[in-house]
Amino acid sequence: MPEGHTIHRHARLQTRRFSGEVLRVWSPQGRFAAEASLLDGRVLERVDALGKHLLYRWHGAPTVHVHLGLFGRFRTGRDVQPSPNARLAWASKEAVLALSGPTVCELFDPDEEADLRKRIGPDPLAPNAGDADRFAETLERRPSPIGAVLLDQSVLAGVGNVYRAEILFLVGIDPFRPAKSLGPGEVERIWQVTVAELEAGERSGRIVTRDPGDLGLSHRREVPRGERRYVYGRGGTPCRRCGETILSRPLAGRPISWCGRCQG
């Protein structure tokens, strides 16, 4: 599940649920036990998201850096029982959080955080002035296919395999076109659509890129499972806009689908 929209949503909801509370912290699986003991009994101040990374700020303890990777997931709730393989768990008086399967779960010192910030590109969900220009300047220099560049977290932090396919469909661009061949208007549209789609995903908690109006609905949240996207995972089936068969092949080591007619 974790592209940038999910990560930012976790940060927002976990801050709301757990910040300002003294937490009991432990590592059911044991692989984060020494670190957990440093955090046990501390107050969580806030959770920040940076692209697909999460940073947990504590009163009087180091920052915790989490990256969910492909498999990581959180379970939170009043009645959550952390499974024995959960890497990290904590509990307030009201609720429990359990983290399993993360690619990264570690303590961060300020140098490491500075390195991370240097390493990743602009985050469409945490925009800074000039980000759109920085993005455009990077694309101008990249000969690789735009579909590969959008997955590169040093270019753009937060887009994953679902959004890259859907964004390129929405802007009508062939994933295999070299990034540097795109015109300024095309690059600007990619940026704007990326921001809008990730924001919508952050709010709804799901990736719905299709126009609900096409289905006679008024809100993205009403779009049923299996109807939410234009191209991702739909290779071999008819394009939802023009009926042409959706194409699919690997790009940057991962499958991408696109419509040869809508994205000519």
Partner DNA sequence: GCTGCATGATGAA
Partner DNA sequence: TCATCCTGCAGCA
The residues annotated as belonging to the active site are: 2-3, 52, 254
Q: Please identify which residue in 19, 76, 92, 153 interacts with DNA, judged by CB under 7 A.
A: 153
Rounded-to-integer distance, Cα 239 and Cα 192, Å: 23
Residue length of the chain: 264
In terms of Cα–Cα distance, which of 138, 255, 120, 251 is closest to 190?
138
* Residue written as token pair 């009043």: 78
* Token digits of residue 256: 């991408």
Decide if residue 81 touches DNA (CB under 7 A): no
Query: With CB under 7 A as the contact rule, which of the stretches 2-10, 41-49, 123-131, 178-186 interacts with DNA?
Result: 2-10
Decide if residue 175 touches DNA (CB under 7 A): no
* Token digits of residue 51: 């692209």
Decide if residue 51 touches DNA (CB under 7 A): yes
Q: Please identify which residue in 71, 130, 237, 249 interacts with DNA, judged by CB under 7 A.
A: 71
Cβ 130 to DNA shortest distance, Å: 22
**String of b and e for 123-148 (b: at least 16 CB within 10 Å)?**
bbbbeeeebbebbbebbeebeebbbb
DSSP letters, 75-86, are: EEETT----TT-
Q: Please identify which residue in 36, 139, 162, 193 interacts with DNA, judged by CB under 7 A.
A: 162
Query: With CB under 7 A as the contact rule, which of the stretches 56-64, 135-143, 156-164, 213-221 interacts with DNA?
Result: 156-164
Stated as kind and residue range, the H or E segment containing 250 is strand 247-251
- By CB under 7 A, the residues from 194 to 223 that bind DNA are 207
Q: Which is nearer to DNA, 219 or 225 (CB)?
A: 225
Rounded-to-integer distance, Cα 148 and Cα 130, Å: 23
Cβ–Cβ under 8 Å, residues 85 and 95: no
Decide if residue 235 touches DNA (CB under 7 A): no
Task: Provide the binding-site residues for DNA, judged by CB under 7 A.
Answer: 1-3, 6, 29, 51-52, 67-71, 73, 83, 85, 87, 100-101, 103, 119, 151, 153, 160-162, 207, 233, 252-255
